[in-house]
Each structure stands twice: as C-alpha cells, then as structure tokens.
Amino acid sequence: MSARDAEHALRTALSRGGEWAELFWERHQTLQIVFDDGRVEDAISGLDQGAGIRVTSGERTTYANGNVADADDLIALAGRAARGVEEGGELHDATSVVPDEVAGHSTVAIDPRDVPVGRKVTLLRRADAVARGLDPRIQQVTATYAESIQDVVVANSDGLFRTDRRVRLNLAIHVVARAGEVLESGFESLRGTNGFEMLTDEAVAEAARMAARRAVLNVGAEAAPAGTYTVVLSSEAGGTLIHESVGHGLEADLNLKGLSVYSGRIGEKVASDLITVIDDGTDPDKRGTAAIDDEGTPTHRTVLIEKGVLRSYLSDRKHAEKLGIARSGNARRESFRFLPICRMTNTMIAPGTSDPAEIVRSVKDGIFVKKMGGGQVDVVSGNFAFEITECYRIRDGKLAEPLRGATLVGQGPKLMSEIDMVGSDLGYSTGTCGKDGQGAPVADAQPTIRIPSVVVGGKLK
Amino acid sequence: MSERMSNEAVVERGLDALGASGVGAGEVFLKEARSGSVEIKDGAVENVIARGERGIGVRILDAQRLGFAHSSDLSEEGIVACVEQAKRMSGVTEPDADLGLATRPLDDVDLDIFQRGLEDRAVGEFAEVALAVEAAARQADPRVTHFRKTTASHAVASTIIATTTGVRATYRESYTGAMTSAVATEGGERQIGYHGEAARRFGELDPARIGRRAAERATDKLGPKPFKTQKLPIVLDPWMAMDLLRAIAPLFSADNVLKGRSLFAGKVGQGVANGKVTIVDDARRPQGLRSAPFDGEGVATTTRTLVEAGVLRGYLTSLKTARKMKVEPTGNARRGGYGSPSRIGPSNYFMAAGTDDAAALTNALDRALAITSLLNLHTIDPVSGEFSLGATGNYLERGARAFPVQGITIAGNLTHLLNAIVGVGTDLVFGPGGLGSPTLVISELSIGGA
C-alpha cells in the first residue's frame, strides 16, 4: 500500500460528492496452536487482507469494505464507496497525502514469526505439564498460543498517511479440576504487545500454575453467599471494575447522544476524591497499546476523572468534533470490516496512599476478591455486573475460606462515590472488550480498593 | 485488474494444489458473502455499510495429522501458498487415528433459506425498516425518548465445500435483521431496552413488533424498588429463556464430553432435566436461521432430540468425535466463516413447546420474579455449570406486576436449573441465532439484593 495508491483511492472515493474520505488498509497474519487433551490438536495459519473506505457527506457516512489483493481492487472498492454517496452536492478534492511516522510504545525484540513453531509448541507442552503436575484433581488442560501481526495504513483526504504494526501475543491456559460430581475451571493468560521475549519459560509456567491452582481452589470452595457485603478488590484482581463501572460510560458516542449516566457532567463530581481514572494507549507493552488509533490519531494518556471530578471523554474524530473536545486517540475497529467506534485502550484507577494489607485488616466481615473475570454494563442506567473467579471470605481482618460462583453488581457513579480506601499498589489484567459486535484487545488496572457495601451474587443455603 | 476467478474455479485450483502437494487428503472450504447495514439517527440515515468478502480455508489430513490455513488472497499464487501453509501446519499437530474427512455423498435438500435479490435492494428499503422500528417504539409508549442504536441489516452468502475424498457441495443463504435499543425517560431516570429479530426473507421481518418489544423492555424497568436477598420462583419469557438455553449448549458437545469438560458426560439415557423438558436441535428446519444442508466438514446435517421428557438422548458430534464415540455423526461441526476452524455447536436449537398457557403458569404463582434483562451471560462457565448474573426483573404477585427491580443477581447451576423447570408454556418463539423457547417457570433461584 503506497501513498500514491492511497491518494488515488481517496480521490476516487470523493469523485461523486462527499466532504471527506478515509482509507483503512490492513494485512493481518495469524497463527494459532491449540494443545488440548495432551496433544497438539490444532495448528492454524491465517492471512486476512482488506480495506475499508469511508466517505462522509453531511451527517451521512458511507463505508465500503472488503478483501483487497492489489491497487485495482482498492480502486474498485473506492468506486463502491463513491456510489453510496447521494449525488448533487459540491465536489471536494483530496489533499495530497504526506506520510509521517508516529513512534510506537511497545518493544518487539523478537518478531514471533522468526521463532520456530517447535519452540511455541514446547511452551504449550510445558504449560500442560506444569498444570497437570500441580494436583491429582486436575483432569483437563487446554493451552493455546495465538500470535497476531496486524499491519495497518490509515490515510485520509486531509493528507494524513500513517502506518502502524501491532504485534499481539496471547498464551492462554484453561484448566479443569474435578472432585466427585463437581467440575470447576481455572484460567490464566499472558497477553501483551511485546515480541516473543515476553513468553519466557518461567512466565508460562507461572501462568499455568495460577490457572491450575484456581481450578483446584474452586472445586473445594464453598458457594458464595448472596447479599450485601463489604468488599476488598485486590490489585491482583485486575481492572474489570473500572472498565465496566466507569470506562464504557465515558465513551464519547454515548455522551453525544446524552445517553450515559456521565453525559453533560464534565467538571462535576462523579466519584470519591480518592478516585483518579486514566486511559492510556501509550502504556508500554500493554495489550491495548498502539502507536496510532484506527483513524491515524496518535494514542494518548487521557485523565478521565481527576480526584473524583469528571475531566474528559474517550473520543474518535467525529465525536470529538461534535462535543468540542480534543481527539483522544480512542477510535478503534476490530478489522477493516468495521467503522471505528470510541473504545478504551488501557484503563486504570490510579494508585492511592493506603497500605493494601491495612485495607484487608480494616474489614471485620466481608469478601476479598483476588481475581475478576468478565463483566458487562448497561451504560444508560449505569448498572454493571462482573464475574469473580477467585475470592475469599474476610473474617476479623484476615483471609478465611475460599468462595466460588460469585458476581458483583452495582451502579457506576454510586459505587465510585462510595469507595473509601485506595491502595498504593497497582495490578493489571487483560481482556477482549465487546461493543456493537466488535472485539478490541484491552488492558485494565487498579490498586487494592475497599467498597463499604455492594451486592454480591451467590447462592442462599 | 487481476482476473477475478469464479468461486468454482478457486475451489478447483485449491483441489489441484492439494493434489500436487503430495498430502494424504484435503478439503477446500470457500465462503463468499455480501452484506450491508443501515444505521439511523434522528430520523435520518447516519451510516451505510457495504461489505464484500471472499476467502478459503484449507484443511489437510496427512498421516492422521490435521493442518489448517485460511487466506483472503485468491490469486493462483495465494491459493497455492494457502495449501502450503496448511501442509506446514499439519506437520505441527499430532496424529489422531479418529480424524477423517467427509466421504459420504450429500443429499439434495431445499431448506428455503435463500431469497434471491436481497443484496440488490436499495439502501432506502432497509432505512425504512429501521425507521419503522423506531416509529413503533415511540408509538408504543410516549416515554420512549431516545435510541442508542437502530440498525437494519442483510447478508447473502455462498458456501462451497470440496474434498479430495469425493464430497463436493454448495448452498446459498440470505439473512435480514433489525434491532434497536430504545431508551425510556421518566423524571430523571433513564432505562434502556433491547430487541432484535431476524429472518431469511425481507418481507418476514416485522419492524413494528421489534419496536414495540424494545419499548416494553425499556419502560418495564422504570421506577425500580429495592429488593431483598431471597429465594423466589423465576419466570423467563421466551427471549430470556433463550439466553440460558444458549449457555447450556456446550454441555451437549461431544468434544467437551470426551475431554471431561461436560456435566452431561456418561449421562445418556439418564434424567438430566425436569420431565417437562424436551430440547431439540434441528438443522433442517425450513427457513431456520441456522439451517444448512451440510456442516463445516461437509457432513449432512440432521434433526436430533437431545433431551426427551427430561432424559438425555445424545450429544452433538463432528466426524472425529462420532468415531471416538462409535456413533453416527450428527453434522454439528459448525464453522463461522472460511477462517474459522470447525467447532461443535447447535444449529436451530430449541426447547419444545409445553402444554401450559404462559399466563396461567404465571398467575398460579403467589410471588415470583419475571426476568427482564440479564447482564454477564458471556461469563457463564459451561464446565462448572455455575452462573451468577446481574439482572433486572418485575416482581409479580399472582401474575400481576407489583413493581420492577434492578441491581440484583440470580445464581444457580445450569444442571439444577434444568431440573427446576416446572412450567413450560405453549408459546414457543424462535429468535436470532436459531434459538427458540417458550415461557419457562423455574421453581426457585437465589436472588442477591439489598
């Protein structure tokens, strides 16, 4: 994809009308190896190349996308986009594109494509052996290696031409433990935007141990109770809470429509003084990190909430303009098949000043969450739920018996106003966020925090 | 422009490349799809998306080792490179004596899943559907003030499978759908309600019903009251019941059963659900949204009763898992697209209608909670069967709505849930994704609240 090809495509896209055009081109190479049931079961290699061309005309956007092999395919696609524009408007030309470079934030010392496939299989075998060796109750292990190299080009009729390479690795381990009729699973993964050097033998073995330990712990755990409790969320638990309870509600598209619980509240108090929330697409090596977003805007560190006061939203080009705010570099798309939407990258609650151990000691009767799983939010009401995959009862300031099958529900602004202790530590977790049918790789982080009263979903005896 | 090969020619080249590569056996799977969607905002079209896509997936079985590669590059060189990659991948995996490619000829069956010309309809026709959805929602209740997103979409796809073992077949399908998230406002409160439906033919969508249901979902949640932690009977309308039925599907997978990941392992012939429960997987349902003549491995699809009056009758299988279990393959190796490997899953999968009138079932309960939305369904662990979900609902007394509740949880285990289905309505409805269910009454679940 040359600058000349891009320029030609943009001119073609604007040939029948429309004010602005953009080209997103992508070449995505993937490799997935699945080690399941004691053997390498699947090895899958993939190549997906395509482009999406967008033309805006007044309030209307036309987006044509498809697999493209060469410059001719690209011009044909641009023609399809142009034909979607209603005729009769003034014609605009595309400014000549000027390539410029935006430096990345993640270090890729070893390109995973240069690593022999046998080495990748060895890592999976090791994960399987470590997990199975941990406890006789472990009855199944699935270890998956996934590498993804996404080369993108973004060009638009304002003259922008930027490229980015996103190297993403994911080594995931799923373990099943059995005790009598009870089956439980444990999960752990290593995910980031580094090169293959992130997957050391030690890191993989530790992840396998964590997954196995969690499965074994859960088969022996009591069912979590249902009701309202004081909850301490460990920094190790990851950041699903901030992602669901606040992050989605700060996406600019929802706020333009006035539909978020945070709409129109910039400058207002929306959380406890102890809470500062940051989205940072430049955080080195993290799963949500990139040099540019999928509209070519450099990624950014955005303070969303500062000491409880709402400061900003997560924006793409269109919504930044309409809301009169800066572009935050949060326009993301799953692939060329989709229009970009406002998304989080790496989102965190900034560390506070409390000693994490002191936070646990402060609770007489409550629940300690050591690991969170997935979550979901209803952004309009602010109600969210997230899964807990490892937790313990707290009795008299000490961790007691493990509990399983718990979930936490609450309302974002209410919960954020009630958090009364924030630790000085910080822990990360990774995930794939879903919105409007598109997946996006993200990371989340938080310190150890205390919530005085929150609904815990579990079972009644 | 590079000459565009026809789909048949691409598959032919793939088979040629397989023949030349010296591998034992191979399969070429091609999918071409054209799809589009229209999203509206404030009564006008906001986004028009047109998507075209075509690619192949090549599987190689060499010395009982399976390799898979997929590519969107369908030039001569691209096809050869894809076959070479698949061969390379077959060198990475380990042999399994039960692996095999399809060999049986496929029957010719018309499932009425393709409407010619759907992809050529004007953008305006789809925009009208989306506008009609919003108009119906506003008309249903004046408290409906906004929409988070309203879209109408369509897709037309061709699928071809060809193996070096003699199977060659193709089918075409069409799809159209519309969905909205309506927002209701009252005082300072806002609540959202989602509803979407899909059909194989354009004329079969009912935009007014979609709008009315979304409006009802949103307005139903207005004015919630605190709710105590307690146990209560639960009423699931067909749409809510489908969500839980979907979560149960992985328990029927022969792959999960064989690998010790299903609570249904070793339970064929035994009771796994209340006697009122019958669950069917029917890939040959006329016009079904998941109907197809063959599966992702080129095996003829079937109609199967999975649970009959509470008793487990069998599992969903692929070629490999059927051989391991020494049963006939059910044609449930499903494939999302040319780039996805086959994974066992249901087709049109539904709870059969019961004998009780849905309203009568609800009226018979002194106190109950009717669920109106569930949060975090994707976190249900099919291995343990445990679920603990965020929920909203209507608290009912003798079937009458007393008040709505939110910020609560419901929790249980899928296997217990199946046994606790004490009422099955006559009102079977099919939804998107081929799921179907009537109204269900669950005898009791734990509710977490204040």
pTM, full prediction: 0.95
**Angle in degrees, 0-180, between the axes of helices A3-13 and A71-83, rounded to the nearest 10:** 20
Q: What is the chain B residue with the closest CA to A36?
A: B259
Residues 6+ apart with CB under 8 A from A352: A274, A421, A422, A423, A424, A447
Predicted pLDDT at B119: 85
Across chain A, mean pLDDT equals 95
pLDDT digits (tens, 9 = 90+) for B310-327: 999 999 999 999 999 999
Report CB contact under 8 Å: A69, B74. yes
Counting Cβ atoms within 10 Å, is residue A30 exposed (0-12), middle (13-18) or buried (19+)?
Answer: middle
B342 close to A (CB below 8 A): no
Predicted pLDDT at B90: 97
Indicate the domain borders of chain A: 3-31+44-99, 112-153+165-220, 227-457
Report CB contact under 8 Å: A407, B67. no
Containing H/E element for A124?
A: helix A117-133
Report CB contact under 8 Å: A42, B74. no
> Sign of the CA dihedral B89, B91, B92, B97?
positive
| Contact residues on chain B for A41, CB-CB shorter than 8 A | 66, 93-94, 96
| Contact residues on chain B for A412, CB-CB shorter than 8 A | none
Name the residue type at position A214. Answer: R
Instruction: Using alpha carbons, select from A87, A97, A72, A101 the residue that is nearest to residue A21.
Output: A97
| Contact residues on chain A for B191, CB-CB shorter than 8 A | 380-381
Give the minimum alpha-carbon distance from A64 to chain B in angstroms, rounded to a whole number.
5
| Contact residues on chain A for B385, CB-CB shorter than 8 A | 183
Identity of the residue in B72, B85, B375 whose CB atom sits nearest the CB atom of A67? B72
DSSP state of B141: -
Instruction: Using alpha carbons, select from B403, B406, B405, B445 the residue that is nearest to residue B422.
Output: B445
Instruction: Using alpha carbons, select from A403, A388, A177, A213 the residue that is nearest to residue B384.
Output: A177
A438 close to B (CB below 8 A): no
Report CB contact under 8 Å: B72, A184. no
Instruction: Using alpha carbons, select from A388, A454, A385 the residue that is nearest to residue B389.
Output: A385
Give the minimum alpha-carbon distance from B82 to chain A in angstroms, rounded to a whole number.
8
| Contact residues on chain A for B123, CB-CB shorter than 8 A | 84
Query: Cα separation of B68 and A88, whole Å?
Result: 49
B80 close to A (CB below 8 A): no
Phi first, then psi, for residue A244 (nearest 5°) are -80, -45
Predicted pLDDT at B2: 53
A439 close to B (CB below 8 A): no
- C-alpha A291, offset from chain centre: 16
pLDDT tops 90 at residue A89:
no
The full DSSP string for A396-412 is TTEEEEEEESEEEEEEH
Confidence grade of residue B221 (pLDDT, cut at 50, 70, 90)? very high
A46 close to B (CB below 8 A): yes
DSSP state of B267: -
Query: Cα separation of A396 and B51, whole Å?
Result: 59
Report percent pLDDT > 70 for chain B: 99
- Please give the span between the terminal C-alpha atoms of chain A, in angstroms, as a whole number: 63
Predicted pLDDT at A213: 97
Predicted pLDDT at A238: 85
pLDDT tops 60 at residue B224:
yes
Give the minimum alpha-carbon distance from A388 to chain B in angstroms, rounded to a whole number.
9
Q: What is the chain B residue with the closest CA to A257?
A: B148
B63 close to A (CB below 8 A): no
Report percent pLDDT > 70 for chain A: 100
A179 close to B (CB below 8 A): no
A104 close to B (CB below 8 A): no
Give the minimum alpha-carbon distance from B409 to chain A in angstroms, rounded to a whole number.
5
Instruction: Count Cα neighbours of B182 within 13 Å in the Cβ-side half-sphere.
Output: 34
Identity of the residue in A178, A337, A380 whose CB atom sits nearest the CB atom of B191? A380
pLDDT digits (tens, 9 = 90+) for B230-270: 999 999 999 999 999 999 999 999 999 999 999 999 999 99
Output the six-digit token pair for B5: 């090969």
pLDDT digits (tens, 9 = 90+) for B412-450: 999 999 999 999 999 999 998 999 999 999 999 999 998
A404 close to B (CB below 8 A): yes
Predicted pLDDT at B1: 41
Identity of the residue in B67, B71, B388 whose CB atom sits nearest the CB atom of A407? B388
| Contact residues on chain A for B60, CB-CB shorter than 8 A | none
Instruction: Using alpha carbons, select from B169, B242, B176, B235 the residue that is nearest to residue B203.
Output: B176
Output the six-digit token pair for B345: 């899953």
Q: What is the chain A residue with the closest CA to B378?
A: A374
Identity of the residue in A47, A176, A407 whose CB atom sits nearest the CB atom of B409? A407
The full DSSP string for A25-71 is EEEEEEEEEEEETTEEEEEEEEEEEEEEEEEEETTEEEEEEEE--SH
The answer to whether A310 touches A267, Cβ cutoff 8 Å, is yes
CA distances from A57 to A74, A249, A320, B46, B50 (A): 21, 28, 18, 10, 16
Identity of the residue in A373, A374, A383 whose CB atom sits nearest the CB atom of B407? A383
B255-265: b (≥16 Cβ within 10 Å) or e = bbbbbebbbbb
pLDDT tops 80 at residue B388:
yes
pLDDT digits (tens, 9 = 90+) for B87-98: 999 999 999 999
Instruction: Using alpha carbons, select from A359, A366, A55, A142 the residue that is nearest to residue A234.
Output: A359
Listed in order, strand segments (DSSP E) in A266-300 are 277-280
Report CB contact under 8 Å: B55, A48. yes
Architecture of domain B118-157+174-220: 2-Layer Sandwich (3.30)
Instruction: Using alpha carbons, select from B19, B51, B59 the residue that is nearest to residue B32.
Output: B51
Identity of the residue in B2, B72, B410 whose CB atom sits nearest the CB atom of A50? B72
- Other CB atoms closer than 10 Å to residue B9's CB: what's the count? 13
**Dmax (CA) of chain B:** 72
Instruction: Using alpha carbons, select from A142, A162, A178, A424 the residue that is nearest to residue A290.
Output: A162
Mutation target to probe the A interface, by most A beta carbons within 10 A, among B320, B375, B444, B447 is B375
Predicted pLDDT at A90: 82
Query: Cα separation of B363 and B398, whole Å?
Result: 5
pLDDT digits (tens, 9 = 90+) for B40-99: 988 899 999 999 999 999 999 999 999 999 999 999 999 999 999 999 999 999 999 999
User: Do strands A39-57 and A60-67 pair parallel, antiparallel, or not at all (unpaired)?
Assistant: antiparallel
CA distances from A23 to A7, A60, A63, A155, A296 (A): 9, 17, 10, 5, 10
Query: Cα separation of B202 and A81, whole Å?
Result: 24
| Contact residues on chain B for A12, CB-CB shorter than 8 A | none
Q: What part of A 318-357 touches B (C-beta under 8 Å)?
A: 337, 339
- C-alpha A157, offset from chain centre: 30
A48 close to B (CB below 8 A): yes
pLDDT digits (tens, 9 = 90+) for B149-171: 999 999 999 999 999 999 999 99
The full length of chain A comes to 461
Tell me, which fold does domain A112-153+165-220 have in CATH? PmbA/TldD fold (3.30.2290)
Mutation target to probe the B interface, by most B beta carbons within 10 A, among A381, A389, A404 is A381
pLDDT digits (tens, 9 = 90+) for A92-108: 888 889 999 999 999 99
Query: Cα separation of A413 and A409, whole Å?
Result: 13
Range(s) within chain B of domains with CATH label 3.30.2290.10: 118-157+174-220
Phi first, then psi, for residue B88 (nearest 5°) are -60, -40
Which ipTM value was assigned to this complex? 0.93
Confidence grade of residue A85 (pLDDT, cut at 50, 70, 90)? confident
User: Do strands A160-179 and A182-192 pair parallel, antiparallel, or not at all (unpaired)?
Assistant: antiparallel
**What SS3 state is found at B207?**
helix
Mutation target to probe the A interface, by most A beta carbons within 10 A, among B54, B381, B389, B417 is B381
Mutation target to probe the A interface, by most A beta carbons within 10 A, among B388, B413, B416 is B388
B411 close to A (CB below 8 A): yes
pLDDT tops 80 at residue A461:
no
pLDDT digits (tens, 9 = 90+) for A21-74: 999 999 999 999 999 999 999 999 999 999 999 999 999 999 999 999 999 999
- Report the alpha-carbon angle A272-A275-A279, nearest 5: 140
Confidence grade of residue B3 (pLDDT, cut at 50, 70, 90)? low
How many CB contacts within 8 angstroms connect chain A with chain B? 260
Predicted pLDDT at A93: 84
The full DSSP string for B30-49 is EEEEEEEEEEEETTEEEEEE
Report CB contact under 8 Å: A375, B376. yes
Residues 6+ apart with CB under 8 A from A209: A130, A131, A134
Report CB contact under 8 Å: A184, B411. no
Name the residue type at position A290. Answer: A
Output the six-digit token pair for B364: 């018979």
Query: Cα separation of A180 and A201, whole Å?
Result: 33
Alpha-helix runs per DSSP H in A220-355 = 240-245, 252-256, 317-323
Across chain B, mean pLDDT equals 96
